[in-house]
Homo-oligomer: A and B are copies of this chain.
Amino acid sequence: MALVVQKYGGTSVGDADRIRSVASRVVGAAADGNQVVVVVSAMGSFTDELIGLAQQVSSHPAPRELDMLLTAGERISMSLLAMAIHDLGAEVLSLTGSQAGILTDSSHGEARITRIRGDRVREHLDQGKIVIVAGFQGVDPDSRDVTTLGRGGSDATAVAMAAALDADACEIFTDVDGVYTADPRVVPDARLLKEVSYEDMLELAASGTGVLMMRSVEFARRFGVALHVRSSFHEQPGTWVKESAMEEAIITGIAHDVSESKLTVHGVPDQPGVAARLFGNLADAGINVDMIVQNVSMEGVTDISFTVPKNDNAAALAICERLVPEFRAGGVDADPNIARVSVVGAGMRSNPGIAATMFRALGDRAINIHMISTSSIRISCVITADRVEEAVRTLHEELVPLDEPVEEHA
Chain A residues with CB under 8 Å of chain B are 16, 19-20, 23, 50, 53-54, 56-62, 64-66, 68-69, 71-73, 75-76, 78-84, 86-87, 92-94, 99, 120, 144
In chain B, what residue has the closest Cβ to A70? Answer: B79
Q: Could you list some 13 contacts between A and B, CB below 8 A? A: A23-B57, A54-B79, A54-B80, A57-B80, A57-B81, A62-B86, A65-B86, A66-B83, A68-B82, A68-B94, A69-B79, A69-B80, A72-B76
Q: How far is the CA of A94 from the CA of B54 in the complex (A)?
A: 14
Q: How far is the CA of A58 from the CA of B79 in the complex (A)?
A: 11
Besides A54-B79, A61-B86, A68-B94, 8 more A-B contacts (Cβ < 8 Å) are: A58-B86, A61-B83, A62-B83, A62-B92, A65-B86, A66-B79, A66-B83, A72-B75
**Contact partners of A82 in chain B: CB under 8 A:** 62, 65, 68
> Top 6 A-B pairs ranked by shortest CB distance?
A16-B56, A69-B79, A68-B79, A58-B83, A72-B72, A62-B86
The answer to whether A57 and B83 have CB atoms under 8 Å apart is: yes
**Contact partners of A144 in chain B: CB under 8 A:** 99, 120
Interface centre among A57, A76, A93, A94 (most CB of B within 10 A): A57
In chain B, what residue has the closest Cβ to A62? Answer: B86
In chain B, what residue has the closest Cβ to A13? Answer: B57
The answer to whether A93 and B64 have CB atoms under 8 Å apart is: yes
Interface centre among A61, A79, A92 (most CB of B within 10 A): A79
In chain B, what residue has the closest Cβ to A82? Answer: B65
**Contact partners of A19 in chain B: CB under 8 A:** 57
**Contact partners of A81 in chain B: CB under 8 A:** 57
**Contact partners of A66 in chain B: CB under 8 A:** 79, 83
Q: How far is the CA of A81 from the CA of B62 in the complex (A)?
A: 11
The answer to whether A79 and B59 have CB atoms under 8 Å apart is: no
Provided the pairs A56-B16, A57-B87 are in contact, do residues A76 and B50 lie with their beta carbons within 8 angstroms? Answer: yes
Q: How far is the CA of A53 from the CA of B13 in the complex (A)?
A: 12
In chain B, what residue has the closest Cβ to A60? Answer: B87
A182 to chain B, nearest CB (A): 38
**Contact partners of A16 in chain B: CB under 8 A:** 53, 56-57
Provided the pairs A93-B65, A99-B144, A144-B99 are in contact, do residues A58 and B72 lie with their beta carbons within 8 angstroms? Answer: no
In chain B, what residue has the closest Cβ to A58? Answer: B83
Interface centre among A53, A80, A83 (most CB of B within 10 A): A83
**Contact partners of A72 in chain B: CB under 8 A:** 72-73, 75-76, 79
**Contact partners of A86 in chain B: CB under 8 A:** 58, 61-62, 65
The answer to whether A54 and B83 have CB atoms under 8 Å apart is: yes
**Contact partners of A83 in chain B: CB under 8 A:** 54, 57-58, 61-62, 65-66, 69
Q: How far is the CA of A19 from the CA of B79 in the complex (A)?
A: 27
Provided the pairs A94-B65, A99-B144 are in contact, do residues A57 and B75 lie with their beta carbons within 8 angstroms? Answer: no
A234 to chain B, nearest CB (A): 21
A96 to chain B, nearest CB (A): 8
The answer to whether A69 and B75 have CB atoms under 8 Å apart is: yes
**Contact partners of A71 in chain B: CB under 8 A:** 75
A314 to chain B, nearest CB (A): 26
